[in-house]
Amino acid sequence: MTSPISNTVPLNAALAPLEWLLGTWESDEPGEGTFPTIKPFHYTETLHFSHVGQPAINYMFNAFQIETKRPLHRECGFIRLKPGTNHVVFINAQNTGLVDIEEGELTENQLNLQSCSLSRISFAKEPHVHQICRVLRLRPDGKLEQTVSMATNNVPLTQHLHITYQRTS
């Protein structure tokens, strides 16, 4: 669903380098999830990037179980660029109770991010996530690709998710 504000309010000039993200994206084929402590799985996902004229992109990620369409993982937050630089910040809250700030670099149509701050709810189950690395990239074929790696207190940094999307609006 497109925000009515983002259709009527001009994009903040600070966000021009991130304009390629705006819109709604649907996974074009099932994403792959793996991690040494869980059974491999497949999922679908919808991403929505919008703005309200401020120097931040608002986003929401919604993942679903393929067969039942049952909601799985959800994330929401903001993407900001440090003015006059390619330094990007991804401020993220997850329905699992994890909140993180990922910082990194914007190079052309790619975000390379690494967590620099992680917090979790007091009753989060073990093992706890200790590091997240994320790459969001617009491929030459127009598809958006996301790869997420993570480390926990008992597994070093390992790829966890990989998925591609087609823009639907």
- Alpha-carbon distance values, 153 to 29, 35, 134 (Å): 31, 13, 19
* Residues 64 and 73 sit within 8 Å (Cβ to Cβ): no
Task: For domain 4-167, say whether CATH 3.40.50.1370 is its number.
Answer: no
Q: What is the pLDDT of residues 12-21, one digit of tens each?
A: 999 999 999 9
pLDDT band for 2, please (50, 70, 90 cuts). very low
Q: What is the pLDDT of residues 29-87, one digit of tens each?
A: 999 999 999 999 999 999 999 999 999 999 999 999 998 999 999 999 999 999 999 99
Residue for token pair 């790829």: 159
Mean pLDDT confidence for 94-119: 97
- The residues near 5 (Cβ < 8 Å, ≥ 6 apart) are 50, 51, 52, 53
Q: Cα 161 vs. chain centroid, distance in angstroms?
A: 11
Q: What is the pLDDT of residues 146-164, one digit of tens each?
A: 999 999 999 999 999 999 9
Nearest-angstrom CA–CA distance, 106 and 81: 9
CA dihedral 119, 121, 125, 126 (to 10 degrees): 20
Is the model's pLDDT at 144 over the cut of 50?
yes
This prediction's pTM = 0.92
Question: 153: which 2 tokens?
Answer: 């207190």
pLDDT of residue 6: 52
pLDDT band for 8, please (50, 70, 90 cuts). confident
* Residues 145 and 163 sit within 8 Å (Cβ to Cβ): yes
Nearest-angstrom CA–CA distance, 14 and 56: 8
